[in-house]
Structure 1
Amino acid sequence: MRDQSVMHSVSVGVRRRLAAIAVTLLIVTAWAPAATSATPHAGPPGARHDVITWGASADRMGDAVPDHSYRLVVHTSVGGDDLRIRLSNAFGDRPVTFDSVYAGLRREGAELVRGSNRRLTFGGARSVTVPAGDTTYSDPLPGRLPAETTLVVSVHTAQAAGPATGHSMAMQTSYAATGDHASEEGADNWTELIGSWFYLDSVTVRTGVETGAVVALGDSITDGWQSTTDLDRRWPDYLSRRLQTADGGAVKGVANEGISGNKTLADGAGQSALNRLERDVLSHPGVRTVFLFEGVNDIKAHTGVTAQDMIEGYHTIAERAHAAGKCVVGATIAPFKGWSEWDPAAESVRLQVNEFIRDSSEFDAVTDFDRTLRSPYDHERILPFFDGGDHLHPNDKGMQAMADSVNVKALNAC
């Protein structure tokens, strides 16, 4: 019996390894450039368009470093062809030059799947200089990128100084190295672990025109604080997984544009939602729906912000998004009693704002995160089962509950 058990274990192990190899080969085959990549897209003119499949809000990141490589690990949402990335120098005060930019598939850690790392070009050139305050897209990379892919973008900053641009709290381990190692698929030279994304602020793919994306505009809860690092358990990640398997829905792309500490009205931890709406949301291709979940940082800061101030801010965001042809979903502000900045005055503003979000006609749909997360015994607190430990940020279970509470049909309302 023991011999049979050992043989069964070996057989299961072999089958699992073969299955993993098959999946990897399938992804690499899809990712490789097609023989007909130079031909026009199939279908009538205008039948396909670009859609954002991953995004992260740009912010100031400290001093830029010349002759430095960054290996940035991101997890996409919607699948499609002709991947493009957007590099951002939004907060730079001088140009930054990238002379080596690659996109590949992660095998493990900083190591890539062999044969998957492919050079990106910009207007046909291998090098690109991005002016201060600007962004630039790469040329399309032929081949198909499957949905929910762990993509690795590697860049080398040949010339960089002054403020760097990136996203500080990635909740994802990426890697850095001195010198140009962007083309390498091995992990030997990628010894510096980093928890931020530098310069990369979006990834897009080309899909049918019926497919669109939702952009989550938010703060640290959307950014994923208190979710488990490296496991993609932010609430927009859970939402993406729902959307990929949802029947009949046209919204498949998800971009997380949360910034820890962000406010609706005032700059501070990143530019305010009002001031970054164009760059972080409306400028991305294929966006069909704006998901607005901001406000707790305005309220708990005790700066004198009133409910009417918040309502006017929401109105401006919704008005601008609607003018751009986007659907707008408003989310209620979750409870945070137990957080050091909570007091009855802040709670009063939260309740007034939530009443407006629920009952006004400002939004095309409403997601009630307050009711999803609050304790049935104390509506001012997060349910302990969902509490990440600081009484403000949900844990993985709370993040999943938030995503599960989103009405997927409402994302396709416009």
Structure 2
Amino acid sequence: MAPAPDSPRATGGRRRTGRRGALLPALTVPLSALLLLGLGAGGVAGDPRHHRAGDWVTGWAASPVEGGDIPGSDCPAGDGLRNRTVRNVVFLSAGGDRVRVRLTNAFGERPVRVGGASVAVHDDGAAAVPGSVRPLTFDGGAGVKIPAGAEVFSDPVRLEVEALSTLLVSVYAPEATGPVTNHPFTAQGNFLAEGDATAEASGEGFSSTPCWMLTSGVDVEPSGDVVGTVVALGDSITDTAATTGNANRRWPDHLARRLNAVEGPTLSVANAGLGGNLLLGAREGEPYYGVGALDRLDRDVLGQSGVRTVVLLEGINDIGHGTGAEDIIAGYREVVERVHARGLRIAGGTLLPFKGSAIWTRQRQATWNEVNAWIRTSGEFDAVVDFAAATASAGDPQRLAPAYDSGDGLHPGDAGTRAMAAAVDLDRLIPASPGADDRPSRHRR
């Protein structure tokens, strides 16, 4: 999975020249609160504390992007859906007895009517475990109209789900949607069917599609010791890297496995990675890379249910298109300031080695050196995860270790993402302190 420089998997984008752009994060609210509308392809994100009722945590998340044609992909997000059911396959980081689903029209050009939706435990392919399909309601109704620029939660539904299991979220669009808000690069096969197939358990009649559509999150009311959510904010290295498809081997997935093995209070994991994403701005004419990390921070990170800690790993794409260290560090400082303003912790991840990749130059290497030195020594993060050291070649710290390199010199493969997750000090995600009753206890490495 070694992309060409201009492919959807490649890095890069235009340099950001101003402050935060005009795009704002989507409004995420219960249906009963949808009087706060008219906000366009963004809206204003609510305080994440509004999403913690019932001690909800984010079990799965996918950062949304504008619908459009995606080079090399047959995802229909550009044309949209009409009288079709999309069945999203999602990997859950936390288990519990109740779930709720977040549907998204964050970048829609017009309201999207959902005729029905369901959640189920995944069996195989497009099939659900028999007896596990649960219809979703929205303020008690079977359907919902999601305004342009908005995201809505379903009503909670009772469904026993295990941590590290896979769910099916099915959404039926009876009318033409226009371009569909989606997540384009998933390392996961998903499904489409004609008509309303939300109640279908067998999976018959479904065809494959590579993208997640109309769904941006699954919350869990945890039954165990999960006390909050850690959100991984990043680009393709966080989103999918070059990991094996349908195997859930992204580095946040491996982190979820480690956290699930903790004895005592622990955290769920939300993946806020986007392939090709920039820290400082959007890529002109390439909406499938998403708006910049600064512009999506409120929705994709601070708006996650139960968020306690953020792990930031962005900037290699900015370096790849000539952005200097001073601008990247200024972007990091803004992220840190906004995370701290919400009373949350943030860990800074050093950028992975990239010598030998298509974007490497000596000047960009110098920028990388300066950025990583600042992450390690500035003291502005609450913790540092040294992903660079964890994945570097023993003979050349500017290159990925051969065992971790997917083959393009930039993206780690399965072994590399496992090494990244292993580099996270779990005790620093929520630090131990005297009298704290929500800190992770001693854990198995």
With normalisation by structure 1, the TM-score equals 0.86
Cα distance in 1 for partners of 2:422, 2:241 equals 18
- Contact 1:168 1:195 survives alignment (8 Å): yes
For residue 104 of structure 1, the aligned residue among 120, 128, 143 is 120
Check if 1:52 corresponds to 2:58. Answer: yes
CA distance in 2, matches of 1:54, 1:147: 11
1:49 aligned partner, one-letter code: D
Corresponding residue of 1:270:
290
Report what 2:220 is aligned to.
205
The residue aligned with 2:86 is 70
Which of the two has higher C-alpha Rg? 1
TM-score normalised over the length of structure 2: 0.80
Q: Is the 8 A contact 1:233 1:396 kept in 2?
A: yes
Asked if residue 86 in structure 1 is aligned to residue 102 in structure 2, the reply is: yes
2:302 matched to 1:287?
no
1:223 counterpart residue number? 239
Pick aligned residue for 1:310 from 296, 311, 328: 328
User: Within 1, Cα distance between the matches of 2:348 and 2:398?
Assistant: 20
Q: What is the CA-CA distance between 1:48 and the residue it aligns to?
A: 4.4
Q: CA deviation at 1:270?
A: 0.5
Structure 2 CA distance for aligned equivalents of residues 112 and 265 of structure 1: 41
In 1: Cα distance, 2:382 partner to 2:428 partner: 8
Tell me the amino acid that sits aligned with residue 351 of structure 2.
I
Deviation at 1:340, TM superposition (A): 1.2
Aligned to 1:331: 349
State how far apart, in whole Å, the 2-side matches of 1:144 and 1:161 are: 32
Which residue of the partner structure matches residue 374 of structure 2? 356
Find the aligned partners of 2:226 and 2:242 in 1 and give their Cα distance. 35
2:423 to 405, 408, 411: 405
Deviation, structure 1 residue 144: 2.9
Q: CA deviation at 1:115?
A: 0.8
What is residue 300 of structure 1 aligned with on the other side?
320
Write out aligned runs for 1:161-176 (5 A): 161-176=177-192
- 1:147-186 correspondence to structure 2 within 5 Å: 147-186=163-202
Among 153, 159, 180, the residue aligned to 1:137: 153
2: distance between equivalents of 1:160 and 1:51?
33
Unaligned stretches of 5+ in structure 2? 1-51, 68-77, 284-288, 433-445
The one-letter code matched in structure 2 to 1:71 is R
Find the counterpart in structure 2 of residue 25 from structure 1. none
C-alpha offsets along residues 208-241 of structure 1, whole Å, 9 cap, x if unaligned? 7970110100000101131000000000000000
What is the Cα-based RMSD across aligned positions, in Å? 1.5
Task: Give the stretch that moved more between structures: 343-352 or 59-68.
Answer: 59-68
**Superposition deviation, residue 47 in structure 1:** 9.5
Closer, same or farther in 2 for the Cα pair 1:79/1:351, shift >3 Å? same
Aligned length: 365
| Per-residue deviation, 1:187 | 1.9
Letter in 2 for 1:228: T
Which residue of structure 2 aligns with residue 14 of structure 1? none
**One-letter amino acid of the structure 2 residue matched with residue 52 of structure 1:** T
Residue 82 of structure 1: how far off its partner (Å): 2.0
Of 271, 293, 296, 1:256 maps to: 271
Partner of 2:421, secondary structure, is helix
Q: Secondary structure at the match of 1:163?
A: coil
Q: Which moved more, 1:287-296 or 1:135-144?
A: 135-144
